Amino acid sequence: MRFEELRLSEPLLRAVRTAGYRTPTPIQVSAIPHVLVGRDVLGCAQTGTGKTAAFALPILQRLSQHEVRGLPSSSRIRALVLCPTRELAQQIHDSFRTYGQYTSVRQAVVYGGVSQNSQVRAIRAGADVLIATPGRLIDLLGQRLVSLASVRMLVLDEADRMLDMGFLPDIRRILAQVSPQRQTLLFSATMPEEIRKLVTDILHNPALVQVARVSSAAPTVAHWVYHVEPPQKLPLLTRLLSRRPCDRALVFTRTKHGADKLTRHLLRAGLRAAALHGNKSQGARTRALDEFRSARTPVLVATDIAARGLDVEDIAHVFNYDLTSDPETYVHRIGRTGRAGAEGTAVSFCSSQERANLRGIERLLGKALQAATTPTEAVERLRISGAPGQRLRTKSSAMRRVYSPC
């Protein structure tokens, strides 16, 4: 199918062509027709599936054609998009600007961690679409700097992540200020009980849009696991990144302190690395992402705040330095690689205390992760079994197998 078959307007089709897209993704094919006719949508989709365009394109079309349930075109704000993190809010804002560049629809974005002054000025200058994180929007509503009285299209993106981060009370307060005569679109990668209840409360006869199986991993990702104890994790990661440098590698840690500590070690080892987590200032986070996108800093060490919404092309490897206890989080982490049919590699470090986590991940994937041999084990095996005259050649061959994940 082509974008032209989705009955999108010419300005949007021109923007899509300018952005280099030729064919819509499955979620775009499924969701766009429903959104265009004003129906509520429940979307089950992970990041990397093209879901931002699945709601941005039809919203832009309806706003530009003034079709939002009879609302006058002069009214502001007419569409509201809520999402969990600053990075995702900025990426969605960029997408709206890209797709709406040939329309008169205007966008603004608000999120915490920076001064609100420029954000308020952008809203006052006129914004048809507001992209916001719940916390900052609640602040602006409390100061009466924003009105949601004219909102007729509401999007909750990564709803499960917003609930995980404790935003449910804020979301309900925001919903109370939006007209019930609205179109609501809710997208979530998982469907826990809290999301099902929210769906029942706020969606009316929604169209269900689901691409692939929820919590499924891309078939182009190779899954490796090293069985190592915590003291060996740091030198092992350093060796893997140093011996065969990857174009871009994303490393996940369990804690913010662990991300900072690991980043300092990698820098001391001569590797270009940066940390990304919630305690970083917005400026530091923006710089880290910009340098990672450009590959000036090829290694990004992050907590799970980056597991979703991190839109960076060509991430070759994802390392699970700390193996998560939530199998679905594992899928979201490795969803940063192997996107759009490209090959990717996920490398996990599993200690004896984390083996139950590994079993849960393997049950969800329906297959075992491929065991990789640590450098120490490979050398020890060669020392025992290799003849002296053959040791150098055999070691070279074995070390190539050892470092095959990277």
| pLDDT tens sequence across 225-237 | 999 999 999 999 9
Q: pLDDT truncated to tens, each residue of the chain (406 aa)?
A: 889 999 999 999 999 999 888 889 899 999 999 999 999 999 987 666 788 999 999 999 999 986 444 444 444 899 999 999 888 899 899 999 999 999 999 999 999 989 999 999 999 999 999 999 999 999 999 999 999 999 999 999 999 888 877 899 999 999 999 999 999 999 987 787 888 899 999 999 999 998 765 456 778 899 999 999 999 999 999 999 987 666 789 999 988 899 999 999 999 999 999 998 877 877 888 889 889 988 899 999 998 865 556 778 788 899 999 998 778 788 888 888 877 667 889 999 999 999 988 998 888 888 899 998 765 554 343 333 333 333 333 333 333 344 456 6
308 in any annotated domain: yes
For residue 233, what pLDDT is reported?
Answer: 95
What b-and-e string marks burial along 272-295, b requiring 16 or more CB atoms within 10 Å of the CB?
A: ebbbbbeebeeeebbebbeebbee
Is the domain of 135 the same as that of 275?
A: no
For residue 379, what pLDDT is reported?
Answer: 38
Is the domain of 71 the same as that of 26?
A: yes
- Number of domains, the chain: 2
399 in any annotated domain: no
| CA dihedral for 39, 218, 83, 95, sign (positive or negative) | negative
Is the domain of 192 the same as that of 55?
A: yes
Is the domain of 202 the same as that of 291?
A: no
Is the domain of 255 the same as that of 311?
A: yes
The domain that holds 285 is classified in CATH as 3.40.50.300
Is the domain of 194 the same as that of 50?
A: yes
Is the domain of 135 the same as that of 236?
A: no
Q: pTM of whole model > 0.95?
A: no
d(CA 192, CA 95): 28
d(CA 169, CA 161): 14
Q: What are the residue ranges of helices labelled H in 294-374?
A: 327-334, 355-365
- Collect all residues with Cβ–Cβ distance below 8 Å to 259 and sequence separation of at least 6: 253, 275, 276, 277, 301, 302, 303
* Number of C-beta neighbours around residue 269 at 10 A: 15
My answer on whether omega of the bond before 77 falls inside 30° of 0, hence cis, is yes
381 in any annotated domain: no
User: Distances from the Cα of 127 to the Cαs of 97, 120, 122, 139, 194, in angstroms?
Assistant: 12, 10, 7, 18, 32
* Number of C-beta neighbours around residue 141 at 10 A: 17
CA dihedral defined by 197, 201, 202, 207, rounded to 10 degrees?
60
403 in any annotated domain: no
Task: Report the chain's terminal Cα–Cα distance, integer Å.
Answer: 36
398 in any annotated domain: no
Is the domain of 11 the same as that of 62?
A: yes
For 389, half-sphere exposure in the C-beta direction (CA atoms, 13 angstrom radius) is: 0
* Mean pLDDT over the full length of the chain: 85
Is the domain of 172 the same as that of 234?
A: no
Is the domain of 189 the same as that of 244?
A: no
For residue 383, what pLDDT is reported?
Answer: 39
36 in any annotated domain: yes
344 in any annotated domain: yes
Across-strand partners of 317? Answer: 249, 345
| pLDDT tens sequence across 355-397 | 988 998 888 888 899 998 765 554 343 333 333 333 333 333 3
- 90 and 109 in contact (C-beta within 8 Å)? yes
Domain boundary residue among 210, 238, 265?
A: 210
Helix, strand or coil, per DSSP, at residue 335:
coil
23 in any annotated domain: yes
Range of the domain at 54: 3-210
User: Could you tell me what percentage of the chain is helix, strand and coil, using 3-state DSSP and rounding each to the nearest 5?
Assistant: 45, 15, 40
H/E segment holding residue 284: helix 282-293
Is the domain of 87 the same as that of 226?
A: no
Domain boundary residue among 164, 191, 210?
A: 210
| pLDDT tens sequence across 81-126 | 999 988 889 989 999 999 999 999 999 999 998 999 999 999 999 9
Is the domain of 131 the same as that of 238?
A: no
